[in-house]
Amino acid sequence: MAEKIIHNERILIIMALIPIWPVQLYSFYMIEKTRKYGLILLGILAISITCQMVLPFPYGLAVALPITIAIPGYYMKKWVRQWNAKLNSS
């Protein structure tokens, strides 16, 4: 269980933008959204593999890489704000 403290939004978003899944997993663990991140990771993996199978090499990677960066970044931004707001209100 992660500590119930207010986290620095910028640091967690930067950690979520790094396309290495253990770093992203740790950042989502800090706000207790590990299970939801696992589902997001499976979806990203499926989209990424599909893009790379359908499109030739450089183009499939050019489509898959922004997806693997943008989706975790968006959800981290959304969820860390909810986390901090919840802790501020209590």
In a domain, residue 3? The reply is: no
Domain count, the chain: 1
Write down the mean pLDDT value for the chain. 93
In a domain, residue 16? The reply is: yes
In a domain, residue 21? The reply is: yes
Enclosing domain of residue 52: 9-89
Q: What is the C-alpha separation between 63 and 69, in angstroms, rounded?
A: 11
In a domain, residue 58? The reply is: yes
In a domain, residue 55? The reply is: yes
pLDDT tens-place string over residues 15-28: 999 989 899 999 99
Structural contact between residues 81 and 9, judged by C-beta atoms closer than 8 angstroms: yes
Q: Read off the tokens for 7.
A: 């986290």
pLDDT tens-place string over residues 27-82: 999 999 999 999 999 999 999 999 999 999 999 999 999 999 999 999 999 999 99
In a domain, residue 2? The reply is: no
Question: Model-level pTM?
Answer: 0.89
In a domain, residue 56? The reply is: yes
